[in-house]
C-alpha cells in the first residue's frame, strides 16, 4: 500500500463496480503482499448495468466477494480503495460513497506497486494508484485519487490535481501542472512548464508544447485543440 504501507489488514475493501481497473489494483496488492489477503468489492451499480461483469480481473488464489452498496454496512475501522481509473468514474464512485456512507478522503488508502520509484520530497494524497514502472522525480505533489499507470514518468516540481489520470507510457516533464480531473493519453509527452487545464484530455501519442485550456480535447504532434468537452 502507498501511504498505508504498514497496514496489517487482511481484507481490502474496494469501492466501485467490478471493472478492468481492478485487475491492476489487485495485481499491485498481490505483488506487494503475496496471497495473505482477501478482497471485498462494494459495487455502486447493479450487476445488470455493469458492462464489465464478464471481464476477468481476479486471481484464483485470492478470495474475492462482491456486495451491492445498498446491502452493505461499512466498518469505520476500514481503509478503502477506490476501484477505478478514469477521472469521471473515480469522481462518481467517491461522491456516491461520501453521500451514502460519509466515507471521506482520509479513509482511503493508496495502492503502489513495488516496482515504483519515488524520489525524495514527493508528496502524495489519498486514494492514489501507482502502477509498475512509474518514476516520480523530486519535489512533486500528487493530489487525491490520482492514477499513474504503468511506466509513467513524472518530472521534478510537477503537480497533479485530484482525480487526474495519466495513462501508460506518458512522460510529463518538470514544472508542469496537471489540472483536476484531467486525463493524459497513452504515450503522450508533455514538455516542461506546461499547464493542463481541469478536465482536459490529451490524446494518446500527442506532444504537448503549449498550455491546454480546461475542458478541451487536444491531439497531435504538436497537440492542438480538437474540440471542447
Q: Which residues are catalytic?
A: 156
- Only one residue has cell 498505508, namely 4
Rounded to an integer, what distance in angstroms lies between the CA atom of residue 134 and that of residue 142? Answer: 13
Rounded to an integer, what distance in angstroms lies between the CA atom of residue 36 and that of residue 159? Answer: 35
Nearest partner of 82 among 36, 22, 172, 2, judged by Cα: 22
End-to-end CA distance of the chain: 34
Rounded to an integer, what distance in angstroms lies between the CA atom of residue 145 and that of residue 126? Answer: 6
Rounded to an integer, what distance in angstroms lies between the CA atom of residue 26 and that of residue 213? Answer: 35
Cβ-based burial of 74 (10 A; exposed 0-12, middle 13-18, buried ≥19):
middle
Rounded to an integer, what distance in angstroms lies between the CA atom of residue 192 and that of residue 58? Answer: 39
The helix (run of H) or strand (run of E) holding residue 14 is: strand 11-15
Asked whether the beta carbons of 12 and 39 are under 8 A apart, the reply is: yes
Amino acid at each position: 500500500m502507498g501511504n498505508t504501507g504498514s497496514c496489517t489488514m487482511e481484507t481490502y475493501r474496494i469501492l466501485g463496480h467490478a471493472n478492468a481497473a481492478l485487475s491492476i489494483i489487485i495485481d499491485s496488492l498481490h505483488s506487494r503482499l503475496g496471497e495473505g489477503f482477501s478482497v471485498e468489492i462494494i459495487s455502486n451499480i447493479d450487476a445488470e448495468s455493469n458492462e464489465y461483469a464478464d471481464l476477468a480481473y481476479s486471481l484464483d488464489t485470492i478470495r474475492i466477494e462482491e456486495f451491492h452498496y445498498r446491502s452493505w454496512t461499512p466498518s469505520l475501522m476500514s481503509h478503502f480503495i477506490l476501484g477505478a481509473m478514469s477521472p469521471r468514474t473515480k469522481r462518481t464512485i467517491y461522491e456516491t460513497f461520501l453521500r451514502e456512507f460519509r466515507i471521506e478522503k482520509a479513509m482511503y488508502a493508496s495502492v503502489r506497486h513495488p516496482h515504483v520509484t519515488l524520489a525524495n520530497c514527493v508528496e502524495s494524497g489519498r486514494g492514489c494508484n501507482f502502477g509498475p514502472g512509474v518514476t516520480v522525480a523530486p519535489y512533486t505533489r500528487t493530489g487525491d485519487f490520482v492514477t499513474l499507470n504503468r511506466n509513467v514518468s513524472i518530472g521534478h516540481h510537477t503537480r497533479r490535481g485530484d482525480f487526474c489520470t495519466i495513462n501508460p507510457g506518458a512522460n510529463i516533464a518538470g514544472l508542469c501542472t496537471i489540472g483536476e480531473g484531467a486525463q493524459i493519453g497513452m504515450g503522450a509527452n508533455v514538455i516542461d512548464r506546461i499547464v493542463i487545464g481541469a478536465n482536459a484530455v490529451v490524446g494518446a501519442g500527442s506532444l504537448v508544447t503549449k498550455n491546454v485550456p480546461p475542458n478541451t480535447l487536444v491531439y497531435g504532434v504538436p497537440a492542438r485543440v480538437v474540440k471542447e468537452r
